[in-house]
Amino acid sequence: MVFAISEEVQHKEEGHTMVVTGYASGMVECRWYDGYAVRSEAFRSDELCALNPAQQLAS
């Protein structure tokens, strides 16, 4: 699945709500706040799912 930059996504297993910040080496780069700091990690697109508009943090 292809995600747009700034799109909100969720990890299928861990459940983090994240923002897509870019693409590198075929991976989707995401950022999220874990309650203590801003975290950043790259995931395979099949590990992520898009949030529907009702679940999104920003409007």
14-47: pLDDT as tens digits: 888 999 999 999 999 999 999 999 999 999 999 9
Asked whether residue 44 is domain-assigned, the answer is yes
pLDDT for position 16 = 82
Asked whether residue 58 is domain-assigned, the answer is no
Asked whether residue 2 is domain-assigned, the answer is no
Asked whether residue 43 is domain-assigned, the answer is yes
Integer angstrom CA distances of residue 10 from 3, 30, 38: 11, 10, 16
Asked whether residue 32 is domain-assigned, the answer is yes
Boundaries of domain holding 40: 8-51
- The DSSP annotation for 10-30 comes to EETTT--EEEEEEEETTEEEE
Asked whether residue 36 is domain-assigned, the answer is yes
The reported pTM is 0.82
Asked whether residue 13 is domain-assigned, the answer is yes
